Amino acid sequence: KQEVTQIPAALSVPEGENLVLNCSFTDSAIYNLQWFRQDPGKGLTSLLLIQSSQREQTSGRLNASLDKSSGRSTLYIAASQPGDSATYLCAVPNYGGSQGNLIFGKGTKLSVKP
């Protein structure tokens, strides 16, 4: 059964720092991996979708990498800003179970201090 883990659960950094959020998964047979951002009391906003055939995907200050063989993905945020403060979730589609189901990690709560 696929499991997705995100460590650390919380991270606090000063403004301007570059940072890396980690996501690991137990079954390397993934089709893609999606990173989301969730602000308090709000829905999930899709940040990046990285296909299994890709190693990297970039959007602005965000860069997601994927290493299927080691079961890991990282989300790199460059020059962090207070507005980046949110919970970041990674998720993979569930191959063998319910179609359309995403299996989520429990998220990393990021706080960027001015």
Please identify, using beta-carbon distances, which residue of 13 and 109 lies nearer to another protein.
Answer: 109
Name the amino acid, one letter, at 21.
L
Please identify, using beta-carbon distances, which residue of 14 and 99 lies nearer to another protein.
Answer: 99
Residue ranges binding another protein (CB under 8 A): 31-32, 34, 36, 41-46, 49, 89, 91, 93, 98-102, 104-107
Question: Please, what is the minimum distance in Å from the beta carbon of residue 67 to another protein?
Answer: 19
Instruction: Count CB neighbours of 25 within 10 A.
Output: 23
What is the rounded distance in angstroms from the CA atom of residue 109 to the CA atom of residue 93? 22
Please identify, using beta-carbon distances, which residue of 47 and 112 lies nearer to another protein.
Answer: 47
Nearest-CA neighbor of 94 among 34, 36, 30?
A: 30
